[in-house]
Amino acid sequence: MSDVDDTDAQGPDGPADLPGRLNGPPTGSDQPEQRRVAIPTGRELVARIPLLGLLLERTEAAGLALDGVYLVGGAVRDAILAGDGLPTPVFDLDLAVEGAASETFAELLAAAIGGEVIAEHRFGTATVLAVLVQGAPPVRIDVAACRTETYAEPGALPEVTLGATIAEDLARRDFTANAVAVALAADADGNHLVVDPYNGMIDIFTRLLRGIHDQTFHDDPTRIMRLARYSGRLRFPVEPATRELAVEAVAAGAIQTISADRMRQELELILEEAAWDPLTLLAAWGVLDTLDARLEESFRLPFLVMRIDEATAGDVDLSRRVWKMRLGALTIGLGDDVIGWLRWLGFPGDVIAEVDGHVRLLRFVRDQGDDLLTLANSDLYLELGEVVDDSFALAALAEDEQPRFARLDAYRIALRDTALTLRGEDVMAAGIAGGPEVGRILGTLFLRALDGELPTPEAERAALGELVAQSKAGGSDEADAGTSAP
């Protein structure tokens, strides 16, 4: 094992500590009150990730050698960010294994820690799932062989060569903050080597997102989406040259080279973030305009955007649930083209239906203005049909005027509470032979019930009697109301 001191892992010129940022800008080294933040050692980083500690205990007990195995990516970044004494809430671990035998290592790891290999993917990667804390959800451990990647053209899948060193593997990563690795094997003193060829630790401390090289967005334009996502989530500004490269890549058409499938995945991840900020960045860099200029209409809804953020308020679980509401807010400018756009990106049918429902309600409420107050529940039903609760929640967040908000809520409650006691059999028993006329009569009854005109089963029956009589007498306007019971 290497005897490199962890604090030297910054590279020969890297400082061992940095001016503290939390207490304002640096004031000069002659100022005794200035606080300095020590760069954590590998041992300290490992101690900040309790799940990793458990994994190491089990591999040690099982005698599994960990030479050439490194923790990389988000877990390391978040552990550096966490600061002293704050365990990092990590659930996923990304391991990079030097040499090409990552699948063999995944099997050995699973056996050592009492987990299982749930997936072996192409290109030397495998996923191990293991319960490390009794009663807690399993930890997902992605194991990948260190590799080099070359890109034939922008947006294309890379040419992958396995069997690389950790330094080579870090060279293919997106941002310096994601390109820090910690060796799982400890040296004789219990230290863990930190490999940080791009001074990612310093960028994390100074809160900057920086690309690893000038071709980064050219090679893989999805990194533009990742840049926005991390900048929004971590609240790290983008380093100016990196921002310039991203904007140039967008202007040169990089976004158009991303497949619909990857774009959907990236958009979904962005919408699951706890705030709207990544979308603001994508708008500023010209990405939304490239996708469809009408998407920028959502930025005329600052109240809505702010309130969705407030409603989710950093609650990641909640924002996972409401990502479709965000997608509705994003696509409001697309109007009738929402369905086509979401289909083009390959969203599943149920998601498309829900988001389209959000957009239709938002637009309807906005277009109606105060006329909304004069509409009966049955008018709203004929216009909007069934409306899911999240659509109401979204429209309520968008609605500023108390009376309109109250009107929408009354409709929500009426929809929730209205159910006819009569069924198709009852309509036929009352003298209708069957077929579409049964549905039309039930639909008319439902509209009346929504408007509160049929508060009891008796009232329903009386109304049924009238409608059957009208139908037999040659049809009625009401029975042709154009809806059928839900």
Binding residues vs ligand ATP (CB under 6 A): 73-74, 92, 94, 173-174, 178-179, 220, 222-223, 226
Among 458, 424, 430, 470, CA closest to 443: 424
CA dihedral in degrees (464, 470, 473, 476; nearest 10)? -140
For residue 300, the minimal CB distance to ligand ATP (Å) is 30
For residue 60, the minimal CB distance to ligand ATP (Å) is 25
Residue nearer to ligand ATP on the CB measure, 5 or 168: 168
For residue 212, the minimal CB distance to ligand ATP (Å) is 8
Residue nearer to ligand ATP on the CB measure, 43 or 262: 262
Q: Which amino acid is at 14?
A: G
- Spatial neighbors of 281 by CB under 8 A, at least 6 apart, are 227, 228, 231, 232, 238
Intra-chain end-to-end CA distance of the chain, in Å: 69
For residue 94, the minimal CB distance to ligand ATP (Å) is 5
Residue nearer to ligand ATP on the CB measure, 117 or 269: 269
Residue nearer to ligand ATP on the CB measure, 220 or 354: 220
For residue 92, the minimal CB distance to ligand ATP (Å) is 6
For residue 21, the minimal CB distance to ligand ATP (Å) is 21
Whether 15 and 202 have beta carbons less than 8 Å apart is answered as yes
> What distance in Å separates the CA atoms of residue 93 and residue 112, rounded to the nearest whole number?
16
For residue 376, the minimal CB distance to ligand ATP (Å) is 48
Among 405, 420, 437, 418, CA closest to 377: 418
Q: Concatenate the DSSP letters of all residues of 138-184 into one string.
A: PEEEEEEE-EEEE-SSTTSPPEEEES--HHHHHTTSSBGGG--EEEE
Closest residue to ligand ATP in the complex (CB): 74
- 3-class DSSP assignment, residue 18: strand
Residue nearer to ligand ATP on the CB measure, 273 or 478: 273
Residue nearer to ligand ATP on the CB measure, 73 or 197: 73
For residue 53, the minimal CB distance to ligand ATP (Å) is 19
Residue nearer to ligand ATP on the CB measure, 180 or 334: 180
- Residue 287 CB: number of other CB atoms within 10 A? 24
Q: Which two tokens stand for residue 251?
A: 């202007």
> What distance in Å separates the CA atoms of residue 445 and residue 439, rounded to the nearest whole number?
10
